[in-house]
C-alpha cells in the first residue's frame, strides 16, 4: 500500500502536536519558577559561627536538588538572637520561596518566652528541616572534682555567660531554679568560644555549651572537663554514660514549690529548642508546592555522598530532623498553657546569689 506525501506530512504534524501537548503536560512549574533565579539564605548570626558554617554547607549542595537549580547566596543578618532575621523573612522578604531563613534555634520560641521584638508566629513559618539535633552540656573544669549535678547542688561554681536570653544563661539559671544547683553567672563574654578560653585560664569554672562546640574545642574533653548532665531530649551517642537532665527530675532534687510534673514540663519546652538544632524555613505565604519542593530537596540532600563527605571534612555533625517534625514540635510547645510560659519566663532568668 502506498501512502501519499501529503498524508505523511499530516501524520508528522499530528505527531509534533502530540509531543508538544506532552511537553506541556509534564512541565514543572516549580522548576520553571526557580530556573535562572537566585535564592537568598538569610543567616540570623554572624559570619564564621557554627550556624553560618552549617548554612554554607547547605547552600553548597542543596541547589542540586531544588527544581530548576537556582543560585544560592548567603546574607548574614545578625542581631537579637535571630529575631531581626526572622522578622525580615516572616513579613518583609518576598513570600515566593526565594528567601530561606537560617535562625539560631531559640528564635522560634522568642515570642512565647518573652524576648522583646519578636513579630512573628513561629507556627506559621514553613519549616524545611534541621541539619543537627543539638545536645547541650553543663561542662565543668575537670580538676575541680565536680562530677555530677548533685555535686553542683552542694558547691557554688562560677559559670561564664554571654548575655541574658541565651543558652549560656538560661540553662544554668533553670538548673538553679528548678533543681537547686548553685551556679554563679559571670556575664559579658563575647562568645561561647571566649568562655572556653576563660575556662582554660581559670577565670571561670564551667559553662553551658553544645556537645559539638565542646568536642571541637576540647577533642580530649573526657580528660579536660566533666560533663555533669546532658541538656537534651535524648542522649548523644558519644555520651551514653552521662545522664540527661530528666534523670534528675525527681522529688529529692526538685526545688519547692514546684512538682516533678511541672519541672519536667519546663524542661520539655526549653529543650525542644535543642532538638531543633540548626533549623531552616521559609515565610508563611510561600506557595505550598514550592514549600514541598524545598522540603524534598532537603531530604534528598541528606543522602548525598558529596554533602556527607563535605560535612565530615569540615567536622560538622549531621543529625537531621524533617521539616514536619519541627513544625509539630513548635505547635506542641505553643499549645502549652500561658501560665506555664509565664513561670518558665521567670525561671530562665538568673536571679543572682
User: How confident is the model over 261-270, as pLDDT tens digits?
Assistant: 999 999 999 9
pLDDT of residue 321: 92
User: How confident is the model over 128-165, as pLDDT tens digits?
Assistant: 999 998 899 999 999 999 999 999 999 999 999 988 87
Q: 244 forms bridges with which residues in the sheet?
A: 230
- Rounded to an integer, what distance in angstroms lies between the CA atom of residue 199 and that of residue 207? 8
**Whole-number average pLDDT of the chain:** 91
Q: Which ranges of the chain does DSSP label H, i.e. alpha helix?
A: 5-25, 29-34, 50-62, 83-91, 149-154, 167-179, 192-201, 211-217, 221-224, 260-276, 288-301, 305-313, 323-334, 338-347
Q: Is the pTM of this model over 0.85?
A: no
| Grid coordinates of 247 | 534523670
Instruction: Give the CA distances from residue 111 to residues 103, 104, 125, 232, 336, in Å, rounded to whole numbers and listed in that order.
Output: 14, 14, 14, 21, 13
Checking if the pLDDT of 25 tops 90, the result is no
Asked which of 8-17, 73-82, 258-267 is least confident by mean pLDDT, the reply is 8-17
Fold of 136-273: D-Maltodextrin-Binding Protein; domain 2 (3.40.190)
- Rounded to an integer, what distance in angstroms lies between the CA atom of residue 97 and that of residue 99? 6
Delimit the CATH 3.40.190.150 region(s) of the chain.
30-133+277-322
Asked which of 10-19, 67-76, 223-232, 329-338 is least confident by mean pLDDT, the reply is 10-19
CATH homologous superfamily of 30-133+277-322 equals Bordetella uptake gene, domain 1 (3.40.190.150)
Checking if the pLDDT of 68 tops 70, the result is yes
> What number is the average pLDDT over the span 210-227?
93
> What number is the average pLDDT over the span 246-256?
97
Share of the chain above pLDDT 90, in %: 78
Q: Can you tell me which residue has the cell 527530675? A: 249
pLDDT of residue 3: 47
Higher pLDDT, 179 or 273: 179
Higher pLDDT, 193 or 204: 204
Q: Where does the pLDDT of residue 195 fall: very low under 50, low under 70, confident under 90, or very high at 90 and above?
A: very high
Asked which of 23-27, 39-43, 71-75, 275-279 is least confident by mean pLDDT, the reply is 23-27
Q: Which residue in 74, 101, 73, 106 sits closest to 87, CA to CA?
A: 101
Delimit the CATH 3.40.190.10 region(s) of the chain.
136-273
- Rounded to an integer, what distance in angstroms lies between the CA atom of residue 335 and that of residue 323? 19
Checking if the pLDDT of 19 tops 80, the result is no
Q: Are 320 and 129 in contact (CB under 8 A)?
A: yes
Checking if the pLDDT of 1 tops 50, the result is no
Alpha carbon 117 to its chain centroid, in Å, reads 20
Q: Are 123 and 330 in contact (CB under 8 A)?
A: yes
Amino acid at each position: 500500500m502506498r501512502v501519499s506525501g501529503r498524508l505523511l506530512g499530516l501524520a508528522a504534524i499530528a505527531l509534533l502536536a502530540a509531543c508538544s501537548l506532552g511537553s506541556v503536560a509534564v512541565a514543572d512549574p516549580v522548576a520553571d519558577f526557580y530556573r535562572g533565579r537566585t535564592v537568598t539564605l538569610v543567616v540570623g548570626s554572624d559570619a564564621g559561627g557554627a550556624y553560618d558554617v552549617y548554612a554554607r554547607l547547605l547552600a553548597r549542595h542543596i541547589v542540586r536538588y531544588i527544581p530548576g537549580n537556582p543560585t544560592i547566596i548567603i546574607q548574614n543578618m545578625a542581631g537579637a538572637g535571630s529575631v531581626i532575621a526572622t522578622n525580615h523573612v516572616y513579613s518583609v522578604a518576598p513570600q515566593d520561596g526565594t528567601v530561606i531563613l537560617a535562625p539560631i534555634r531559640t528564635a522560634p520560641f522568642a515570642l512565647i518566652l518573652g524576648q522583646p521584638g519578636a513579630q512573628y508566629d513561629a507556627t506559621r513559618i514553613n519549616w524545611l528541616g534541621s541539619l543537627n539535633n543539638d545536645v547541650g552540656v553543663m561542662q565543668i573544669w575537670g580538676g575541680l572534682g565536680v562530677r555530677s549535678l548533685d555535686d553542683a547542688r552542694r558547691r557554688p561554681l562560677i559559670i561564664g555567660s554571654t548575655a541574658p536570653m541565651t543558652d549560656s544563661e538560661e540553662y544554668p539559671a533553670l538548673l538553679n531554679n528548678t533543681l537547686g544547683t548553685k551556679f554563679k553567672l559571670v556575664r559579658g563574654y563575647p562568645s561561647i568560644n571566649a568562655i572556653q578560653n576563660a575556662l582554660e585560664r581559670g577565670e571561670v569554672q564551667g559553662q553551658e555549651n553544645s556537645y559539638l562546640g565542646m568536642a571541637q574545642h576540647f577533642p580530649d574533653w573526657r580528660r579536660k572537663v566533666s560533663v555533669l548532665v546532658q541538656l537534651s531530649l535524648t542522649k548523644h551517642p558519644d555520651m551514653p554514660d552521662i545522664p540527661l537532665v530528666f534523670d534528675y527530675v525527681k522529688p529529692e532534687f526538685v526545688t519547692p514549690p514546684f512538682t516533678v510534673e511541672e519541672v519536667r514540663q519546663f524542661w520539655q519546652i526549653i529543650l525542644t529548642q535543642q532538638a531543633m538544632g540548626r533549623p531552616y524555613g521559609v515565610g508563611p505565604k510561600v506557595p505550598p508546592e514550592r514549600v514541598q519542593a524545598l522540603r524534598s530537596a532537603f531530604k534528598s540532600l541528606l543522602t548525598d555522598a558529596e554533602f556527607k563527605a563535605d560535612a565530615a571534612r569540615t567536622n560538622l555533625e549531621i543529625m537531621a530532623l524533617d521539616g514536619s517534625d519541627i513544625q509539630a514540635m513548635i505547635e506542641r510547645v505553643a499549645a502549652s498553657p500561658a501560665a506555664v510560659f509565664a513561670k518558665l519566663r521567670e525561671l530562665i532568668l538568673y536571679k543572682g546569689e
